[in-house]
Amino acid sequence: MNTFKQYFLLGLLVLTTGFTALPQSAKASPAPVPLDTVVAVVNDDVITQTELDQEVDYVKVQLKHSNTPLPSQAELETQVLNRMVDQTLELQLVTKMGIHIDDATLDKAIQTISAKNNMTVDNLKQTLAADQISFDFYRTEVRNQMLVQQLMQREVAPRVMISKQDVDNILNSKGYAQMHQPVQYNIEDILIALPDEPSSDELTTANQKANSIIAKLKAGANFNQLAVAQSNGGEALQGGALGWKTPEELPQLFVETVKTMQAGQVSAPIRAANGIHVLRLVDVKNNQEKHTIEETHARHILIKTDALHDDQTVRKEMENLKKQMDSGVGFDQLAEKYSQDPTSAIKGGDLGWVKPGDLVPPFEKAMDQLAVNAISDPVKSEFGWHLIQVLGRKEQDNTEEYRQMQIRRMLFESRMEDKTQDWLRRMRQSSYIKILLNEPNPVVAKVPEKPAV
């Protein structure tokens, strides 16, 4: 994924309404409320032409950087507006539930996004400015994505149940050996959505649309452009790109299709539970079956802060212990005497062999930066202050555990997507939604700015 796409994506691509209110203290007097054309009504909220234009411009920049040809303006506006309607419904529920992202949390998230892309926040601002995207608009995008993620974790994720039996059923199935090939597929998808129980007319119309799309592709049309314009899938505005997937991460219907295809080939229509799919196999690559992780043998000394021992006091104690080690006193002796982690203290501070993710992030980050036998400076975590020593490192084969984790993730993502679509469908059905885009008599209204949540 290129840098541009990385700084625009925070786990899922969700479009936003795009206004950020100034803090009340920054407003000397109420500003006049401008007139704007209403393109959609969503319960008590409206989406304006100005907001839609902002979002369309935002998506155009993303598509440009991913080298995806643009569909027609009308098709792009329709796709973007549908996404905005969904997010407006989501943000209405966010407000009702009292979910909030404060500025400090938002700033930290943006710093993390920048760091992951080897950028400073100032670099990010410059990149956005070069694409004519305001930093305030970008902050609103990120905030809304974070809000929707929290909402999904509360409303949808608890409904996704995956048992050990679910995982074992796949591992032990007759088709698993055939599915579990050492390959990965890079796939693009166009979805023509269908209701849960489509009528024969709906099926006929969807099949006709799928065959029309295939005919256009055979005549030389660009798959990504058609996906942006016509797909009902969650990846439509990313040109239908699903990315690199192992067979376990794909529906079996897809696997049975793509394993017989050549790179660059387009599939026949595939009927699935959520509609009819047209796939394009971009590429195939070999994927090594064996998966390893690096385990670390570590030990530590922990001293906690309390009412009588603040951070400064404890840090000085830790620095004194390290000086004693530099003078030849054994780490294990000092751990047994001073460490406030009773489980490891009796073993000279020994934590045994630990895997990535076993320890809290500040501890693990400091440990990973140490050479074997080196001792860290004092490190603060949520538990207190630590001195850490690495005693050894080794590669460990965790292929079976990794397979189970991949299957569990695949099942979760698949079921989460289905539950999310069902949840959004019910939200739409129980809401008042009126689309006014391109109406012959546009509605013009006074539209105040929308406050940040």
The yes-or-no verdict on residue 26 having pLDDT over 80 is no
Helix ranges (DSSP H) in 156-219: 164-171, 176-179, 200-218
Q: Identify the structural domains of the chain with CATH numbers, from first to last.
A: 3-159+430-446 (1.10.4030.10), 183-287 (3.10.50.40), 293-397 (3.10.50.40)
Give tens-digit pLDDT for 237-255: 999 999 888 887 888 889 8
Alpha carbon distance 433, 38 (integer Å) = 12
Mean pLDDT of 198-224: 93
Cβ-contact 242, 258 below 8 angstroms: no
pLDDT at 166: 85
Q: In DSSP terms, which residues pair with 379 in a beta bridge?
A: 386
Give tens-digit pLDDT for 386-400: 999 999 999 888 777
pLDDT band at 184 (very low <50, low <70, confident <90, very high): confident
Mean pLDDT of 10-21: 30
For the ranges 101-105, 312-316, 331-335, 410-414, which has the lowest average pLDDT?
410-414
pLDDT band at 15 (very low <50, low <70, confident <90, very high): very low
- % pLDDT > 70, the chain: 87
pTM exceeds cut of 0.75: no
Alpha carbon distance 85, 285 (integer Å) = 38
Show the beta-strand stretches assigned E in 273-411: 275-286, 292-303, 350-354, 379-381, 384-397
Mean pLDDT of 1-10: 39
Average pLDDT, the chain: 85
- 4 C-beta neighbours (distance < 10 Å), count: 17
For the ranges 18-27, 64-73, 111-120, 401-410, which has the lowest average pLDDT?
18-27
Alpha carbon distance 254, 201 (integer Å) = 25
pLDDT at 388: 97
- 128 C-beta neighbours (distance < 10 Å), count: 18
pLDDT at 411: 85
